[in-house]
Amino acid sequence: AVTFVTLGLSYGVWYSYSVFLVALLREFGWSRSLLAGAFSVFVLVHGAAAPALGWLADRIGPRRLFVAGAAILALGLGLAGAVERPWHLYAAFGVVSAIGVACAGWVPAVVLVQRWFPARVGAALGITSAGIGVGILLVVPATQALVEWLGWRWAFRLAALAVLAWTVPMTLAVVRDPPGGPAGAGARLGGVTPREALGTPAFWLVCAASFLGSLGT
């Protein structure tokens, strides 16, 4: 349940950028392509961080990544609330916030869920990933209301506060790393090492499906 809400909050904030884009366009008069570029940078940084985060989740555990990710995401959102130049936005939202979402997002969640529920990993991941859709459904309109009520700067700041207020205490209180401790570099999952997985067609089909799915959204 904690991971469900954490994913919903993190990804809901990510996809709330469409609301912030309109507000920034009105305030600064920057072009839509310039503002959309920050979202593109976010996507690239988020994706590029995934392999390193998988490695870290194996070694330090997903619990620490969730806490670190919440702190980094809150920092990025707080900085985004103070932007005055386009590069400020690219750095705060496109880079810092993206790293925060990646650390508190899908990769550590998958590691956590598949090791706690190996016998029902499909159902467990399905329930957990549903948090992303629910979060987008709820957080985006909530962000719109905050922007209209308090302005986009305070909306960023309150989003940062919400991420910290939920993710850090709930993760520390409820989430536990899977038994057995961090996995070694050659750890086997389902009888296959990471190196062996890279040589299978199934692995690359999953990669292609994920890539095309992201491209479509």
Is residue 166 within 8 Å of 67, Cβ to Cβ?
A: no
| Pair 134, 120 in one domain | yes
Is residue 96 within 8 Å of 65, Cβ to Cβ?
A: no
- Write out the two tokens for 198: 């890279």
| Pair 59, 141 in one domain | yes
| Pair 208, 115 in one domain | no
Sign of the dihedral through C-alpha 100, 70, 174, 162:
negative
Task: With cut-offs at 50, 70 and 90, classify the pLDDT of residue 173.
Answer: confident
20-73 pLDDT, tens digit per residue, is 999 999 999 999 999 999 999 999 999 999 889 988 888 888 999 999 999 999
| Pair 193, 112 in one domain | no
Q: What is the DSSP string of 40-109?
A: HHHHHHHHHHHHHHHHHHHHH-HHHHHHHHHHHHHHHHHHHTT--SHHHHIIIIIIIIHHHHHHTSHHHH
- Backbone torsions φ then ψ of 16, nearest 5 degrees: -75, -5
Give Cβ neighbours of residue 49 (< 8 Å, ≥ 6 apart). Answer: 98, 99, 102, 103
| Pair 61, 18 in one domain | yes
Query: Residues 134, 44, 190, CA angle at the centre, nearest 5°?
Result: 70
| Pair 159, 82 in one domain | yes
| Pair 206, 173 in one domain | no
Mean pLDDT (whole number) for 187-191? 51
The domain of 103 spans: 2-180
| Pair 92, 144 in one domain | yes
Domain at 75, CATH number:
1.20.1250.20
| Pair 173, 192 in one domain | no
Number of domain units in the chain? 2
